[in-house]
Amino acid sequence: MKLRAFYQLIYLSAFIPNLKGACTTDKILLRWPLTPEVCSDQVLSNPDLRFSNCPHTFVQDLPAPHTPPVSPFSVNLSADSILDLRITTAPSGDYGFSAFVKPATDDDSCILHYKSDDGSFEMKFFSTASGTNASVIGWDSCASSALQVGEWQRIAMAMDASQSKLNLIIEGAPFDDTDVNIFGWKPGSIAPSFKTPGTLRVGGCFDGETFSGLVSCVGFVEDKNIDCSTGCYDSSSWTSFNMYPEKKHYGTFLPTESGNIPIQTPISATFTDSMSFCALQCLKDVLLCVSLAYNSITGVCSFYRDFFFVTLTASPNTTLYVLQPY
């Protein structure tokens, strides 16, 4: 750590002693482990299909040494391979995003950008060769030192709603859960509320900028601090946290019922040429869809908002599929 940055950290810590590592799991709303399994293609019986259309490359390069070795845990992003993650859960107070990144270049790049569907709320983490910047729409952004090329760093942008502070966090290995770096403070003003539904773009912005490098352990946190570093290295914890999987262009659907469909009214229904097209529409176009029924004879694809159904009714040639958690 540079001497100036070190003294800045000490200065800030002295005035905000209540900021510390957020290691409690009840503050973590969503986690994206960014493993090959998360990026699997739609379905079904062909095991080789699950990686055939995945646009991302995964590498065995982790933010910190891990014993015993784990499966590939970081995704290699470039200008043509961004990640779009759907968010429908709104935090009640503080909020923020965290990630581990290893930049490949010091070009101007956008690493994290959240935008609500109605365009009324945006939150962005931007990097240049001379510094980094975190901003919320309608809010003064805050800036800090540049990211280090070729090194793992933990980054975050988080809103302390009660204090009207936008925190920007950068930490280099070894990660010690010291959550203070720099902040933009507007005493007496009301911090912008997080708006949903929306999309978190990882490795790019909606206005064009992209990012080249490795990314691991993206988290959406209901806290002014960021998620503790040790959680990143435990792949099992990252799998279990998503009770409701994020919506994206790729996902795994498991057939759960044959010849039956839910009695409840579907969100909508359409005609598709194949089960794969039906699954893609559920992921990309139907916001609340997590289950679907596909009739192989008529091509009717019906979308549902629930994962599990108690009451079913007979429907010949129809199979009910459920989007699997990661």
Highest mean pLDDT among 39-48, 206-215, 276-285: 206-215
Lowest mean pLDDT among 39-43, 115-119, 265-269, 282-286: 39-43
pLDDT at 206 over 70: yes
- Sorted by where each starts, the structural domains of the chain and their CATH numbers stand as 3-240 (2.60.120.200), 253-323 (3.50.4.10)
pLDDT value for 41? 42
Query: Higher confidence at residue 266 or residue 60?
Result: 266
Q: What share of the chain is helix, strand, coil (3-state, %, to 5)?
A: 15, 40, 50
Query: Higher confidence at residue 65 or residue 120?
Result: 120
Distance in angstroms (rounded) separating the CA atoms of residues 254 and 320: 8
Encode pLDDT of 216-247 as tens digits.
888 888 877 676 666 676 655 555 444 444 44
% pLDDT > 70, the chain: 72
Return the structure tokens found at 83: 């990640």
Distance in angstroms (rounded) separating the CA atoms of residues 27 and 223: 6
pLDDT at 71 over 90: no
Q: How many residues does the chain have?
A: 326
Instruction: Find all residues with CB under 8 Å of 143, minimum gap 6, and list them.
Output: 131, 132, 133, 134, 168, 182
pLDDT value for 190? 87
